[in-house]
Structure 1
Amino acid sequence: MRWIVGAILLLVVAVIFRLGLLAYSMYALLAAIALSRYLANRWSSDLEAKRTMNATQVGVGAKVAVVVTVDNRGKVPVPWMLLEDLLPRQALIHSPPPLEVAGQRLQLVSFRSQGTKTILYQMKCNRRGYYQIGPLIAETGDVFGLYRRFRVLSDPSFLTVLPEVVPLTGFDIASRRPIGEVLMSYQLFEDPTRIRGVREYRAGDPLNRIHWKATARTGTLHSKVYEPSTVAGVTILLDFHHEAFDRADEPVRSELAVTATASIAAAVCEMGQQVGLCTNGRDAADRIRTEGWTHQRLRSRRDAQAAGMRDRSDRLRPVVVPTERGDVQLQRILETLARVEKSDGLNFPQLVMESAARLPRSATVVAMLSIVTPQHAIALSNLRKRGFAVTAIVNTYDEYRYAELAAPLVAERIEVRQLKNREAIADLCNKCMIH
């Protein structure tokens, strides 16, 4: 705009004072400015792009190939275009980075009339997470450098990297109680596979309870008496509040907690028992803002990077996968763990308070903790007093630190186990948790 205003002013001066050479130069400059602006707009508006990924959900260690095809639909060649398929900064820091990129996702290219360019790169997924891939942005301008145009050519895609699952050892296979068999002080429901005895028939007893051999032998109806229900399965309470983790240990300890949680859930599902998850972390999908995305309002790379994902989430309720059994239950839990992020919302005692009504008494409550305060111990003790079977896993490497954190839990008669490192995950359930 300043170039145009200056050229017009000089042209007016040249006309007033009849400076023919200057007037001719200003006419040529204005024509060059108009042509440059037209070409810059034309070059950016004629481009279309499409991104293809060979997978949108993978496990840790997998490689994902990304192919971005950019077409020039116009008949005017484009002398230069800077193309970049954006990735979030958090995915490229640390060593190794969560997404290790091989190939060029930033390229300077030129297009023939109706030409096509392809961007190829590959990502190795080193850490679980929910990653935004893209958008593809393009910058171009006229050959004189007077105008610069910026466009978002494609919407972002999203990649889910599932957490690692470590096989657990030491389960009591015979009892089919991977986390422990807990005899309740009251009868929640009866286990039809475990007959305790026989009694005389009472009005209202269903036919499937009748003990036909005893009935035939005595001549009167008798019914089976079953053992009271035992606790089977697990509900995992994962503390993912950011204050629970020391910055010096991150992201190692938080990722270890997720891996241990995923491994326990996988083992319980493999045994055919119910499993659930409740965490005070936030779901990364809550930060997605794809609705109402207006490309025309984006004027820089920073705008494009912020267009799809918010930096913060105001979520103040637990992320819950209800405790159930079934073939798809493990997949639900793994997908939730892939997206979970540390939060500054609910602390762990508040998580217990908010989720207590959702916890089935028929499953052991396993608390995955990285810090233990008296409030943590009281919250878990209240669950135990209400009839829940409770076990705590303390996520720390140092033995002295573990003894310090475990003390308030032991004082409340809660069984505690240490998650020392990745190798210790396999032995977390090496003995039955009998209360």
Structure 2
Amino acid sequence: MKRIYLILFLLALTLFSALSTGFYLLYRLVYALALILVSSYIWTWISSWGIEARVERRTSRAAKGENIEARITVRNTSFIPKSWLEVQEMTDMPGHLEGMAIGLPSRGFRSWKVSTPCKRRGIYTLGPLRVTSGDLFGLFRRERYFGDVHTLIVYPQIINLHHFSIPAADLPGEGSAVHRSFSITPSASTVKDYTYGESLRRIHWPSTARMGKLMIKEFDQGPSSDIWLFLDLHWDVQAEQEEESTDDYGATIAASIARKYLDAELSVGFVAHGDDRYVLPPETGPAQMARIMEVLAKGKAQGKVPLEEALAQEEALYSRNSSVVIITPSYREEWIFVLKELMRRRIKVLVILVEPSSFGGRDSNLHLSGNLARNGIPSYVVSRGDDLSAVLSHMYRGPQMAEVFPGHPGRLL
């Protein structure tokens, strides 16, 4: 638009000079500038006339790391060719491709695929489609919009946590007694001979091959009846580097743990204090998983309540049969005192520390692992770039000090 102001300034200056001097060449220059302005304006309107555009998209839901594919089609229904059009889909989604410049022949069309990577979980808007026309001199631009605004939900990734478990033996007041279960749970205890009528899903194939007969897995009932996931979304402790953030890692961990235990038919609840207070009471089944995923996609790390206050506010949610998994990048020590109070009530507590300095944060929370260990609170540490399935298969005990039970993957020492 700066060019139009320059042309108008030159036109006014030339007209003033022509009227002052009466020099005929200046009058010709005035006519030429006026002709350029009028023809450019008309050309811009003609270029936007007779245009149709649409976007075809197969899904409105995806997971972080996936690509959302769409097909954009722009058609010229008029007999006048379109020499320059800029096509861009309006969206607040990070990583979305910029507009594309095209030309269209008389009654022709262009169609192409657009693939957008889902780099961050969240709820985004897609559309409408903006088609911009202009003149050859870049003096005028006209925008037209096609289609409606659609919502895209990007869920966190889900990682298979085969060896992750919530320990019971290390917690105060708990014994190591194990009860057998006829249901499939996350904790395989032993194997036994197959009995007619038992589910084939429980067959342990390595033992079957070794023994030469069908062997099936027996499962523990698990450490508790209810599992609560507490995701820390306090804004002041978050960190981000190269499109990877502590809150996205936390959401992935929460989703993965929820899937593991809900698949085992255990009750899982969820709590987070972010841009809003999110509380999902413990329930079982696919519907609960869907609710947790919706909240994880929606929740933003904009919480104003620090972890120690949020934990204290939600103490009444937990019963003696609860296990609470806290996922946090916090480097503050105050919240550990709240966990000690939960443990005094015989509530099982597990902490997953997301290390903020690995995401470019100013502080580290590795010093908290020692404090947690001294208070009998098991913990895991996750850093940027870690294989989550691997680091969540053993507790953090400092450098080169993580162990698991021999022969029992996921059973923590």
What's the TM-score, normalizing by structure 2? 0.65
Where 2:158 maps in the other structure, the secondary structure is coil
Per-residue deviation at 1:67? 0.9
Residue 147 (structure 1) aligns with: 140
Amino acid across the alignment from 1:424: V
Tell me what 2:381 maps to.
419
Q: What is the total number of aligned residue pairs between the two structures?
A: 337
Change (3 A) 1:61 1:28: closer
What's the offset of the Cα at 1:324?
2.1
Residue 79 (str. 1) matches residue 72 (str. 2): no
Distance 1:379-1:250 versus aligned 2 partners, 3 A rule: farther
Judged with a 3 Å threshold, the aligned counterparts in structure 2 of structure 1 residues 247 and 112 are, in CA distance, closer, same or farther, namely closer
1:326 aligns with 2:269: no
The answer as to whether partners of 1:169 and 1:427 remain within 8 angstroms in 2 is no
Deviates further, 3-12 or 33-42:
3-12
Contact 1:397/1:419 (8 A) holds in 2: no
1:363 aligns with 2:322: yes
TM-fit CA distance, 1:385: 4.2
Residue 275 of structure 1 deviates from its aligned partner by 1.0
Secondary structure class of the residue paired with 1:36: helix
Sort the Cα spacing of 1:254 and 1:382 in 2 relative to 1 into closer, same or farther, 3 A. Answer: same
Question: Does structure 2 retain, via aligned residues, the 8 Å contact 1:363–1:389?
Answer: yes
- Which runs of structure 2 are paired with 1:26-425 in the superposition (5 Å)? 26-27=30-31, 29-44=33-48, 46-74=50-78, 76-85=80-89, 90-91=94-95, 106-125=99-118, 128-133=121-126, 136-154=129-147, 157-169=150-162, 231-245=224-238, 251=244, 253-281=246-274, 315=275, 317-343=276-302, 345-359=304-318, 362-385=321-344, 388-396=347-355, 404-410=367-373, 413=375, 415-420=377-382, 421=386, 422=388, 423-425=390-392
Structure 1 residues 372, 10: closer, same or farther in 2, change over 3 A?
closer
Note the aligned Cα RMSD (angstroms).
4.3
* Amino acid corresponding to residue 381 of structure 2 in structure 1: L
- Offset of residue 253 of structure 1: 4.8
Identity of aligned residues (%): 23
Give a deviation string over 1:343-370, Cα, whole Å, max 9, x none: 3522212322443455566532211123
Query: Secondary structure at the residue paired with 1:328?
Result: helix
8 Å contact from structure 2 (residues 372, 379) kept in 1: no
How far did 1:25 drift? 5.8
The answer as to whether partners of 2:333 and 2:368 remain within 8 angstroms in 1 is no
How has the CA–CA distance of structure 1 residues 153 and 359 changed in structure 2, closer, same or farther, with 3 Å as cutoff?
farther
Indicate conservation of the 8 Å contact 1:275/1:325, yes or no: yes
Structure 1: distance between partners of 2:341 and 2:41:
71
Kindly provide the amino acid, as one letter, of the partner of residue 338 in structure 1: A
Q: Tell me the CA shift for residue 143 of structure 1.
A: 2.3
Query: TM-score, normalization: structure 1?
Result: 0.62
* Kept after mapping to 1: 8 A contact 2:355/2:366: no
Name the CA distance, whole Å, in 2 between partners of 1:360 and 1:44. 65
User: Is 1:430 matched up with 2:389?
Assistant: no
State the match for 1:221 in structure 2.
Answer: none
Aligned partners of 1:57 and 1:161 also within 8 Å:
yes
> In structure 2, what residue type is equivalent to 1:329?
Q
Cα deviation, residue 61, structure 1:
4.6
Deviation at 1:330, TM superposition (A): 0.8
How far apart are residue 135 of structure 1 and its match? 5.2
Question: What SS class does the counterpart of residue 38 from structure 2 fall into?
Answer: helix
CA contact (8 A) 1:390 1:415 kept: yes
1:142 is displaced (CA, Å) by 1.7
Q: CA deviation at 1:11?
A: 5.9
> How far apart in 2 are the matches of 1:402 and 1:22?
74
Kept in 2, the 8 Å contact 1:390–1:414? The answer is no
Residues 76 and 109 in structure 2, CA contact (< 8 A), matched pair in contact too: yes
**Helix, strand or coil at the partner of 1:91:** coil
Cα distance change on mapping 1:351 and 1:8 into 2, 3 Å: same
